[in-house]
Amino acid sequence: MRKTAVFIAAAWVLFHGFGLLAGELERTGKADLNGDGKSENMRLKVEPSGKYVLTVGGVAMEGAFPPLSSFDEPTAGISVVDVDRQDKYKELQIRVSSSADSMLDARTVLYRYDGGSLREVLRLDGRYLELFGNGIVHVTRWRGFWMEREKYVWDRSAQKFREVPQAFYYVGVEGRVVKSFPIFRALSGSQVVAQLRPKSAFLILVWDRKSNRYLVRSESGLVGWARPEALESKTSLPSAG
């Protein structure tokens, strides 16, 4: 069977009753979330302050997003996703963003309903996710000139997601030097491998989360670690614009 990824941008049309009422965003829907064969009524109401109330089958859960004034044209949505096809549950996904198709500023929360309670299992700010239905979720965040990819795995015994740490995070972005800057042999050392010359091309290979440094390959094929402030102020890189 071909593996199919499910993106959070999809399936908002499964629900109805969305509207802007006195500054509030509201959405309703109906689905069987706990596998008992009965559909639960669902309602999401988001206040202008960012506070929200999610109600499923008579169980209410309060939470908070950033104030709606921080979004250009705020929208809110709910959809049903299946984190793990091997169990009987389906999860409820809610999000608020600047527009219906916005990924960069979306705030997303996943909940699981067991028939008597709601439990938050994953919360993402400024990121979007890709579900595979096998307990694995890929999460992507815009980092200004590249997309950071994280992996989370569903822990069936703990009933929550756990991040799978990576040694480094792949960047794969090309740039050009505007002002010369050094690349270093070690993450925390001061030994210079090379001084990148103006107008030369370079490739950013990976990012180290702990030190916030980037591994760079120069035009001549030399490799070393670059400080983020050098990349931000002395190079030409792609941007969100």
Q: For residue range 173-214, what is the model confidence (pLDDT) as tens digits?
A: 999 999 999 999 999 989 999 999 999 999 999 999 999 999
Q: For residue range 32-89, what is the model confidence (pLDDT) as tens digits?
A: 999 999 999 999 998 888 889 999 999 999 998 878 777 777 788 888 999 999 999 9
Q: Is the pTM of this model over 0.75?
A: yes
The verdict on domain 169-236 having CATH code 3.40.50.720 is no
CB 174 within 8 A of CB 203: yes
Listed in order, the ranges of the chain carrying CATH 2.30.30.40 are 169-236
Tokens 């999000």 sit at which residue?
95
Structure letter (DSSP) for residue 237? -
Tokens of 109: 């929360």
Range list of H helices, 65-108: none
